[in-house]
């Protein structure tokens, strides 16, 4: 990761098609667009590549989550269970439809702990939302069983795991709906963009309309469309879709490089006493965007991360990160918004300040994640291997 490292003539060609026609919008202007329908082509390419029946592109991964929740009928009074280790967009989307985020602990996989999920289910629970963090999958069999037994929706946030699989099925295509982000630092990028995937035609039809002001797209032109319900403008542009169309054709190449580079660094530190790698529920399906491991204590982890940063090796210590772990989400815990929030929902958010996540704190405070780049040369890998080994060995 990320796909922008391999931005080249293929992307330029697809974008040039759009600029030559002058039609930047994905809908309408049939004659002027000279046969170019980049958004439609990308949706079809995703369906074919991931073996999923329906894909709806959106303007971002956050918009994809919001769209999927709306299409599933999730809203005020409903609860969605999600991990306390995720990107802020996960809970932002929940709040955007008026639902309540219910955070639970992660386990050694850095994804949802199924036991914590079961303990958090209430009469208001409508969906479980695993987040396939840092390119690797949640325990999908366990979560699917819970959803079937409790008649809950399973919504996959696969925004960080494009191309990853679980027991032969692509992440994002296993639940009732799944989402991707195609922002600038994802495995494949559109610059900005997202997608909802589903095998349910009704969910797809609702997503299709919801992302375009409720248009049913059944009229002879946009002015003839009907509107069964209110929607919003979450459309992707043809320019963004054009970039993604070129990128998805490179996905297998990206995954092969990531897996090779990750395996090299993992092997380099595997024999060091005190190192514990994150649990991967299906190693063959890991998209390998990150190498994540645990050190014996938080104190050691902080020292190692200091050495890595001083040596210029990119690394994430999520315990102190403001974007990805609940510990520093003060704006969420205070219910801070620029608009009035439902009083009941705001009170529930403020109660987060009283909630303990000891299991997750123990894991995240000891973990370090190394992003895996596509553009690393053989010499780059050798240098990074030495930096990583020396930083760890200096503290163990």
Q: Chain-wide mean pLDDT for the chain?
A: 97
228: domain CATH number? Answer: 3.40.640.10
Q: How many CB atoms lie within 10 A of CB 223?
A: 7
Residues 260 and 236 in one domain: no
Per-residue pLDDT, 276: 98
Per-residue pLDDT, 245: 98
Residues 232 and 337 in one domain: no
What domain range is 362 assigned to? Answer: 254-393
Residues 235 and 189 in one domain: yes
Backbone angles phi, psi at 259, to 5 degrees: -65, -35
User: In 3D, which of 102, 116, 110 has the Cα closest to residue 133?
Assistant: 110
Gyration radius from the chain CA atoms: 21
What does the pLDDT average to over 233-245?
98
Residues 302 and 279 in one domain: yes
Contacts of 154 by beta carbon, 8 Å cutoff, 6+ apart: 127, 128, 129, 130, 143, 144, 147, 174, 175, 176
Mark which of 251, 270, 300 sits at the end of a domain: 251
Residue 1 pLDDT more than 90? no
Which residues partner with 131 through β-bridges?
A: 157
Mark which of 251, 286, 309 sits at the end of a domain: 251
Which tokens is 215 given?
Answer: 């248009």
Strands 153-157 and 125-128: parallel
Distances (CA, A) of 52 to 169, 249, 305: 10, 16, 40
The count of structural domains within the chain is 2
Dihedral sign for Cα 60, 64, 70, 75, please. negative
The string of pLDDT tens digits covering residues 78-133 is 999 999 999 999 999 999 999 999 999 999 999 999 999 999 999 999 999 999 99
Residues 309 and 247 in one domain: no
Residues 204 and 266 in one domain: no
Residues 237 and 110 in one domain: yes
The catalytic residues are 186
Which residues partner with 215 through β-bridges?
A: 227
Mark which of 251, 267, 289 sits at the end of a domain: 251
300: domain CATH number? Answer: 3.90.1150.10
Residues 240 and 101 in one domain: yes
What does the pLDDT average to over 205-232?
95
DSSP structural state of residue 228: S
Report how far residue 166's alpha carbon sits from residue 184's, in angstroms, rounded to the nearest whole number.
25
Residues 204 and 289 in one domain: no
Query: Is-above-0.95 flag for pTM?
Result: yes
The string of pLDDT tens digits covering residues 308-360 is 999 999 999 999 999 999 999 999 999 999 999 999 999 999 999 999 999 99
Residue 220 pLDDT more than 90? no
Q: How many helices (H) and strands (E) does the chain have?
A: 14, 12
Of all helices (H) and strands (E), which one includes residue 57?
A: strand 54-58
Residues 389 and 318 in one domain: yes
Residues 307 and 236 in one domain: no
């Amino acid at each position: 990761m990320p796909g922008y490292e391999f931005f080249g003539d293929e992307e330029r060609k697809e974008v040039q098609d759009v600029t030559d026609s002058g039609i930047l919008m994905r809908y309408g202007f049939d004659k002027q667009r000279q046969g170019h329908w980049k958004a439609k082509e990308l949706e079809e390419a995703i369906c074919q590549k991931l073996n999923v029946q329906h894909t709806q592109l959106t303007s971002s991964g956050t918009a994809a989550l919001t769209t999927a929740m709306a299409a599933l009928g999730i809203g005020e009074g409903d609860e969605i269970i999600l991990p306390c280790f995720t990107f802020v967009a996960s809970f932002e989307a929940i709040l955007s439809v008026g639902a309540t985020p219910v955070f639970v602990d992660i386990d050694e996989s850095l994804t949802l702990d199924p036991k914590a999920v079961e303990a958090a289910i209430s009469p208001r629970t409508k969906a479980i939302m695993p987040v396939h963090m840092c390119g690797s999958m949640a325990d999908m069999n366990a979560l699917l069983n819970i959803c079937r037994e409790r008649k809950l929706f399973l919504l996959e946030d696969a925004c960080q795991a494009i191309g990853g699989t679980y027991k032969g099925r692509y992440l994002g295509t296993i639940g009732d709906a799944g989402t991707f982000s195609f922002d600038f630092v994802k495995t494949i990028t559109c610059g900005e963009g997202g997608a909802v995937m589903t095998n349910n035609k009704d969910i797809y039809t609702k997503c299709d309309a919801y992302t375009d002001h409720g248009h049913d797209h059944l009229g002879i032109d946009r002015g003839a469309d009907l509107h069964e319900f209110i929607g919003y403008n979450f459309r992707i542009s043809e320019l963004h879709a054009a970039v993604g169309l070129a990128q998805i054709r490179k996905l297998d190449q990206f995954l092969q490089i990531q897996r090779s580079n990750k395996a090299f660094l993992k092997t380099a530190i595997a024999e060091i006493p005190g190192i514990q790698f994150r649990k991967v529920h299906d190693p063959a399906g890991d998209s390998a965007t990150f190498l994540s491991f645990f050190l014996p204590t938080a104190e050691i982890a902080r020292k190692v991360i200091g050495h890595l940063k001083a040596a210029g090796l990119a690394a994430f210590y999520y315990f102190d990160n403001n974007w990805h772990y609940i510990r520093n989400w003060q704006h969420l815990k205070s219910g801070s918004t620029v608009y009035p929030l439902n009083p009941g929902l705001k009170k529930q958010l403020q109660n987060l300040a009283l909630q303990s996540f000891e299991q997750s704190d123990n894991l995240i405070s000891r973990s370090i994640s190394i992003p895996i780049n596509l553009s690393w040369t053989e010499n780059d890998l050798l240098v990074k291997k030495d930096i990583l080994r020396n930083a760890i060995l200096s503290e163990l």
